[in-house]
Amino acid sequence: MTTVATTATSSLVDIAHDLVGSGRGILAADESIGTMSTRLEKAGVEPTETNRRDYRELLVTTADLREGVSGVILCDETLRQRLSDGRIFPHALDELGLLPGIKVDTGARPLAGSAGETVTEGLDGLDARLAEYAELGARFAKWRAVITIGDRTPSRWALWAGAHSLARYARSCQDAGIVPIVEPEVLMDGDHTIWRCAPVTAAALRTLVDELTVACVDPAAMVLKPNMVVAGSTCPQQASPRETATATVEVLGAALPDDLAGVAFLSGGQDPDVATANLAALQEVPAPWPLTFSFGRALVSPALQAWRGDPRRVVDGQAALARLVGRNAAVLRTPSRRR
């Protein structure tokens, strides 16, 4: 990726570095209203606006969260909500020493001309929304493209459409003074092997880097949030952490520029223990960029189960989150990390 003169300022580079280069990870608490409501209902919690707020308040007010987490990704609803003490979330995060982030895509929709693939939407009106989000205190943003592995997928058309949208989004973010997190997610759904996930992830990243280059996105002022290269969730032959780490860094290394600010992996539905083991193994493989986490489910699922909407169990939910954040942050700080 060529770095050309852009409006990306050194402060964007500094924020990107704080996000991924400070030995901490990012908490993805940006589930859309629909996804969050489904997860609350599964945990026996009524999916109201107040309960979604209470749950996010539980997460972000966990004691010492900033020791292991640099920033928190929120959705539009949460960014505008107030904690019970009256502060809006971005101001509270700021005061808690956490960078506030905002998911700005509006979700995946069917892609015309594809065999059941999707493209992520949200470019209409994006520049105006980014300006408002910056005003509300957001320092970074996130957009996720979804890539499926099947007999006939992913198509070149879907890879290009997803990458092109991510590049337009990233460029708009940097112009608005917001660090983009760029998330091309190859889903774990299916019985494919790790050896099928590797070339698909490589193709997705090559296509993405081409589009980012054309859009003159400054790699030093952005964060990549990819999937780890893993076997499909129903594949009988699951890869070991060492195989996962080696394949992942090989694929990333062939596609990404060395001056990228860093890589923050999604968990993608991996069991929390497996996600941590893979993250630890990744620290053993030399790479030119920091390799950290931007987990959602692998950090928060046990917290939601421990809380289940009961105010008396907030402390249990926070303990569950603190345990997983601490465990993942600890593996980033092991002395074996080599670059």
* Binding site residues, ligand 5MM, CB under 6 A: 28, 30-32, 35, 73, 103, 107, 144, 185, 266-268, 295-298
Q: How far is CA 2 from CA 59, 151, 214, 215, 337, in A?
A: 38, 34, 9, 10, 28
**107 closest CA partner among 93, 123, 94, 91:** 123
**Using an 8 Å Cβ cutoff, are 234 and 190 in contact?**
yes
Dihedral pair phi/psi, residue 258, rounded to 5°: -65, -25
HSE-up of residue 53 (Cα within 13 Å, Cβ side): 15
Radius of gyration of the chain from its Cα atoms, rounded to whole angstroms: 19
Output 8 or 147, the one with its CB closest to ligand 5MM: 147
**Using an 8 Å Cβ cutoff, are 179 and 140 in contact?**
yes
Q: How far is CA 230 from CA 55, 207, 271, 329, in A?
A: 30, 20, 13, 21
Sheet holding 140-147, edge to edge: 25-28, 69-74, 99-103, 140-147, 179-186, 223-224, 262-265, 291-293
Output 185 or 218, the one with its CB closest to ligand 5MM: 185
**Using an 8 Å Cβ cutoff, are 245 and 35 in contact?**
no
Min CB(266)–ligand 5MM separation in Å: 4
Min CB(86)–ligand 5MM separation in Å: 27
The single residue listed with the structure tokens 């608005």 is: 176
The single residue listed with the structure tokens 């929390």 is: 272
Mapped onto helix, strand or coil, the DSSP state of residue 273 is: helix
3-state helix, strand, coil in the chain (%, to 5): 50, 15, 35
Output 174 or 301, the one with its CB closest to ligand 5MM: 301
Residue nearest to ligand 5MM (CB): 296
Output 3 or 153, the one with its CB closest to ligand 5MM: 153
Dump the DSSP string for 104-152: ---EEEEPTTSSS-EEEE--TTHHHHHHHHHHHT--EEEEEEEE--SSS
Output 73 or 280, the one with its CB closest to ligand 5MM: 73
The residues annotated with a catalytic role in the active site are 183, 225
Output 54 or 185, the one with its CB closest to ligand 5MM: 185
Min CB(189)–ligand 5MM separation in Å: 12
Min CB(78)–ligand 5MM separation in Å: 12
Output 1 or 194, the one with its CB closest to ligand 5MM: 194
Min CB(29)–ligand 5MM separation in Å: 8
Min CB(223)–ligand 5MM separation in Å: 12
Min CB(76)–ligand 5MM separation in Å: 11
